[in-house]
Chain A
């Protein structure tokens, strides 16, 4: 029997307020284990909303399943342990003043010992080119460094599903290159929300284009979104 999809959305509708029209309308797609997919769309197209709904932060109508487990209030904690999540503002998700400790959180939650967790966290920070953050307060880091520390926290426990909101935002060109290489080397399924089509094309083979709350393109041509936006592909 084949593995269940890493993430599956069926007729998902999401709104921020009941009095307003929904941001996402009857969105359906699935992500196979190990598949890397870019969720592209213009500002305000609903990319972040979709990712937040997929981890149960926003209420939704329809069905979301992670590795076959339906996402419900009672399963949310269990489902989230299978997900590495990157928020689009790194400051929001860095919950500890010490960068190493913040990165080690996911490992400690999975029962790793303190020393081993710190060692692995340090190695992940180094792999993301931010080894100098070890032993430093998060408040002292630049925006790009915070972005890398936040990424390290999402990746360190090697979760089978990564939901990344604008992972390349704030990274310098070498940082983007390193991140791209790292994501390609992982076995995890990746859904990354981005409007950086160039970066997405280096990492993903499938592109979902969100427009007006629905998916208007699902395919392997990275130039399609650019054409729809009236931007000439390079």
Chain B
């Protein structure tokens, strides 16, 4: 039987499923190179100006990175849905502003909305693609190889783990509401939900933190995870994304050669 996830369950399953789901050429690079390169592509997307050339570079950077990461279609589809949901209210605000006369220039309003949409989608797509080419253990390896303070690395790992755990807990509560909420007590159940949800999440977070402490994860020497040194392909990839950042910066600040 195929498991169908709904609501929070879908979110929890998506969080678990997105890590390491990409199998494009980028996934063959060393984990630390994937992380740095993803960060650089993100920087390039944010640096590009709103000119036609800038938009072109942004689109190429985003599309190229998503393709090179080999992000599965289901993840891309989810991204499009999330992007649409997040940015549609902005389009409505822009439209309302024009109708009410606050922003008389329709073209400018649309251009502004379009830039926000493109940049927002690009940031989400690049970040998701970078996560998609990293397994959680590779994230640990990548952090160990980078000059990141150990405490910061542990906090990042804790956030990643706790997010999954809390989404899972939310999914359980949502399932309980779905099953028990039907009928006359439904409204009362919904009203009491915040008082149930928050303490349960906090209790779950505390239990996971206890487990991390007892199992010695905070003591775990990140250097032991077997860091893979960068090879020629890694250096070439880094050079390519560095050139992309350079191009975005040149367009932004009008540098000429």
Interface, chain A (partner B; CB < 8 A): 52, 55, 57, 77, 80-81, 83, 85, 87, 89, 91-93, 95-98, 101, 105-106, 108-109, 111, 114, 137, 139, 153
Contacts and interface: CB of A to CB of B under 8 A. Distances in A.
A152 to B, nearest CB: 13
A95 B213 contact: no
B216 A109 contact: yes
B208 interface: yes
B115 to A, nearest CB: 36
Contact of B211 (A87, A101, A109): A87
A57 B210 contact: yes
B216 A93 contact: no
A92 B168 CA distance: 11
Interface of B: 12-13, 16, 19, 135-137, 161, 164-165, 168, 204, 207-208, 210-217, 219-220, 224-226
Contact of A114 (B19, B211, B226): B226
24 contacts: A57-B214, A77-B216, A85-B215, A87-B207, A87-B211, A89-B207, A92-B165, A92-B208, A93-B211, A95-B208, A95-B212, A95-B215, A96-B137, A97-B19, A97-B164, A98-B135, A105-B215, A105-B220, A106-B215, A106-B216, A108-B220, A111-B224, A139-B13, A153-B215
Nearest to B157: A95
A52 B206 CA distance: 13
B10 to A, nearest CB: 13
Contacts of A109: 216, 219-220
B217 A95 contact: yes
A87 B12 CA distance: 22
Which 8 pairs of residues, A with B, have the shortest CB-CB distance? A93-B211, A92-B207, A139-B16, A57-B210, A97-B136, A92-B211, A85-B214, A55-B214
A80 B214 contact: yes
A80 B217 CA distance: 11
A81 B216 contact: yes
Given A91-B168, A106-B215, A98 B137 contact: yes
